[in-house]
Amino acid sequence: MSQNVPAGSRAARAEAFPRRMRIAARRDFVSAYEAGQKHRGRLVVVFARPRKGAGRLGVTATRRVGSAVVRNRARRRVREIYRRWRAARPLAAGLDVVVNVSTRAALAPYAAVREELLALLDRAAAAAWPERA
């Protein structure tokens, strides 16, 4: 195996979103709902709570949102927006975020979802750590 890794591969790994950065356990979702702060938008609802260690993301999209294809597309969009937000903002470290996707978000253009979600994530980070904002 070669030790030379192409520069493109290193950049891709730096922007990766591995499973360890995702909330998967029900207890972690419930904890975010109960102990986290709620930030409501037209398209999504964000629950955020500080935690020790690296921050994680959980995304929910109920069957009411649409078919499996529509729900998975909505979740992929949210993960991508979050991944880029987290890479650009140090406030994201140590923040568990759960995003509830609405039917409107699944049907809305990517730019609209991105704009709203970024604003809500910034608001959540500022609320979690007012001294850092």
- For the stretch 15-34, pLDDT in tens is 667 788 889 999 999 999 99
Determine what percent of the chain falls in helix, strand and coil, rounding each to the nearest 5: 55, 15, 30
Domain ranges of the chain: 44-128
Is 121 a residue whose pLDDT tops 80?
yes
Closest CA to 76 of 17, 29, 25: 17
* pLDDT given for residue 12 in this prediction: 53
- CATH architecture assignment, domain 44-128: 2-Layer Sandwich (3.30)
Q: How confident is the model at residue 2 (pLDDT cuts 50, 70, 90)?
A: very low
Looking up tokens 């991944």 gives: 83
Q: Model confidence over 65-102: pLDDT tens digits?
A: 999 999 999 999 999 999 999 888 866 678 899 999 99
